[in-house]
Copies of this chain bind each other. A is one copy, B any other.
Amino acid sequence: MIPNQFCADDHHTCQTMTELMARHLPQGKSLGRLRCYAKNDDIWRPEAPSDRVYLVQRGHVAVVYADAQGHEVVLRIVEEGQLLGELCFCTPEQSLRETFARSTVETEVLEVKYSEFVNYLQGDLAALQGLLFVFCTRLGETERRAEILMYRSADERLSRLLLQLAETRGHPHKAHPGPVTLHVRHDELAQMAAMSRAHVTVTMGKLREQGLVSYERNRPLIVNMPQLAAHINKS
């Protein structure tokens, strides 16, 4: 009943569980409809009703908030196997999304009507557990994101962001404990750390000089996690 039993003692296992649950959710009943999007397509726009949820099958989706001036900030990146949508039972069908959901690469999603999703959940206790996992993981990530943004120096915000990204979506290097690789551009980092792209490049350059990260043109970013963690605790 309570997901605890499925869960080891680290957060990473929990996140894996979340993805598994999400994968199992609708496929048994062959719910929904498969949709494909090219890079930079909008999956929804602010004026769209939030009457459906999505399961990302392949690719990445950024949830983006844009203010009146068109200033955009990335609220979240949703990856393969994860749920996408306002997962809130308080503001269902009638209300509007107030964000963009935009594919950052070529992406396939399974689109499920909200009412069908709810029906499915009602009949399946395991699905409810899965949903608890999703909320749990999302909340943790979002709190961490907010924590990062409260730091005022660019160095600190960027270092902390890289650490979080490395922990949540980094691919470890063949059994080495330290470095993990990330695929992320400077302008994406800028939107996530609330900095300008130019200053991200400058700051990343300094981190590279210190050996905390390494990257080159068209090479993945390698984050040296233990050293970066140490850097944060004494800056």
- Identify the A interface with B (CB < 8 A): 1-4, 7, 9-11, 13-15, 17, 65, 67-68, 71, 73, 75-76, 87-92, 94-95, 118, 121-122, 128, 131-133, 135-140, 142-143, 145-147, 149-152, 194, 232-234
- The closest CB in chain B to the CB of A160 belongs to B67
Given A142-B143, A143-B142, the answer on whether A150 and B194 have CB atoms closer than 8 Å is yes
With A and B bound together, what is the CA distance between A118 and B133 in angstroms? Answer: 15
- The closest CB in chain B to the CB of A1 belongs to B122
With A and B bound together, what is the CA distance between A165 and B10 in angstroms? Answer: 33
Given A139-B139, A150-B194, the answer on whether A132 and B133 have CB atoms closer than 8 Å is no
With A and B bound together, what is the CA distance between A71 and B232 in angstroms? Answer: 13
User: Which of B7, B89, B121, B122 has a CB less than 8 Å from the CB of A89?
Assistant: B7
- The closest CB in chain B to the CB of A137 belongs to B90
User: Which of B87, B92, B142, B234 has a CB less than 8 Å from the CB of A146?
Assistant: B142
With A and B bound together, what is the CA distance between A234 and B69 in angstroms? Answer: 8
Task: Evaluate contact between A94 and B136: CB separation under 8 angstroms.
Answer: no
Task: Evaluate contact between B149 and A87: CB separation under 8 angstroms.
Answer: no
Task: Evaluate contact between B89 and A149: CB separation under 8 angstroms.
Answer: no
With A and B bound together, what is the CA distance between A145 and B143 in angstroms? Answer: 9
Task: Evaluate contact between B143 and A75: CB separation under 8 angstroms.
Answer: yes
Task: Evaluate contact between B135 and A91: CB separation under 8 angstroms.
Answer: no
- Chain B residues in 8 Å Cβ range of A91: 9-11, 14
